[in-house]
Amino acid sequence: MPDLQAFAENLWIVDGPPVRDMGVMFTTRTSLVKLSDGSLWVNSPVSVPFDTLKRITQLGPVRYLLAATPRHVWRLAAWHTLFPEAQLWAPRPTPFTLKKGHLPFTGILGDTPPQAWKDDFDQLAFKGNPFIEEALFFHKPSRTVILDDLIQIHPRVEGKHFRNALFKLEGVASPYGGVGLDIRLSFTNRDLARQSLEKLLSWDFDKLVIAHGPCIENCAKPFVERAFLWLARPASAHHSPR
Ligand SMILES: [Fe+2]
C-alpha cells in the first residue's frame, strides 16, 4: 500500500505500484521535498490512493512536478491534471523519453537549479549518454542525493529465476546494485560523464534516495563511488625507459 514515509527532514518518499518497462516489472518511487518557502517539490510522481494524496497536500502547496529521467516523464500527465497550476520540469528529451500527450513544460533540468529551488538544492544533468540524461539532486539541508534510475538495487525475488538472472547480469542485483550494464555501455562520451561524476562526488552527502531499490540512510557516498568505479579514469600507460 503506497504511503508517505518520512526519509529525512522535509523529505518524504512514496512507493507506488510496480510498472512494466521493456518487459520487466519495476518498483516505483516518488520523492517529495518541502522547500524553504513552504511549497512542495515532487519528483517522479506515482499513482497514489486518495488518503496518501490528501496527506501530501497537507504538507504544502504542490508547486513543482519533475521527472528526473526520460523514462518517468509519462507519469507527470496524471499529476498535471491534479495540480494544473504546478510547474512541470523534465530532463533533456531523448529517443528514450517515455511520455504521454502534450504537457506545458516550464523548463529542462540542467546543471543549475532554477531560482525556485536553488536555496534547497544543487543539481546536475548526468551527461555523456545520448539516450538518458538523468537529473540528480542534492538536498542541501538533509545532505541527501536524490537519484532515479542511474543506480538501482534489485533484491532477489524467490521463484523469479529469469528476473534474478537478468538483474545479476545487468550488475544491479542486491546488496550493492549499481549502474545497469546497458546504461554503462550507452555512455559514449566518457569525458563528459566523468565531469558529471566529479560534480556528484563533490557534494557532501550522507543519504541516498533511489527510485528502484532500498534507499540508504547514512554513509551513502562510498556506495555511490563504488557504483561508478567503471567510469574511473584508466591509469595512464607506463612506458619503461629504454
Ligand atoms: Fe525508473
Determine the distance separating the centroid of ligand 1 and the alpha carbon of 155, expressed in angstroms.
16
Determine the distance separating the centroid of ligand 1 and the alpha carbon of 131, expressed in angstroms.
14
Beta bridge partners of 4: 14
Residue 168 corresponds to which cell in the numbers above? 545479476
Determine the distance separating the centroid of ligand 1 and the alpha carbon of 11, expressed in angstroms.
19
Pairing of strands 62-66, 87-90: parallel
Beta bridge partners of 40: 34, 62
Determine the distance separating the centroid of ligand 1 and the alpha carbon of 146, expressed in angstroms.
13
Q: Answer whether residue 187 shows pLDDT above 50.
A: yes
Determine the distance separating the centroid of ligand 1 and the alpha carbon of 237, expressed in angstroms.
38
Determine the distance separating the centroid of ligand 1 and the alpha carbon of 209, expressed in angstroms.
12
Report in angstroms the alpha-carbon separations of 8 from 50, 70, 218, 240.
23, 26, 11, 53
- Model confidence over 56-106: pLDDT tens digits? 999 999 999 999 999 999 999 999 999 999 999 999 988 888 888 889 999
Per the listing, cell 567510469 goes with 231
Residue 48 corresponds to which cell in the numbers above? 497514489
> CA angle, 73 as apex, 71 and 76 as ends, to 5°?
145
Q: Please tell me whether the overall predicted TM-score, pTM, comes out greater than 0.75 for this model.
A: yes
Phi and psi based region of residue 40 (left: phi greater than 0; alpha: psi -120 to 50; beta: remaining):
beta
CB atoms within 10 A of CB 15: 17
As a whole number, the mean pLDDT across the chain is 92
Residue 236, pLDDT score: 53
Q: Answer whether residue 24 shows pLDDT above 80.
A: no
Residue 27, pLDDT score: 85
Determine the distance separating the centroid of ligand 1 and the alpha carbon of 71, expressed in angstroms.
6
Q: Answer whether residue 235 shows pLDDT above 70.
A: no
Class at the top of the CATH hierarchy for domain 4-227: alpha beta
Determine the distance separating the centroid of ligand 1 and the alpha carbon of 148, expressed in angstroms.
6
Q: Answer whether residue 240 shows pLDDT above 70.
A: no
Determine the average pLDDT of the residues in 143-154: 96
Spatial distance between the Cα atoms of 140 and 146, rounded to a whole number of angstroms: 11
Q: In 67-143, where do the E strands start and end?
A: 87-90, 107-108, 121-125, 135-139
Determine the average pLDDT of the residues in 119-125: 98
Q: Of 86, 124, 119, 78, give the one whose Cα is nearest residue 105.
A: 86
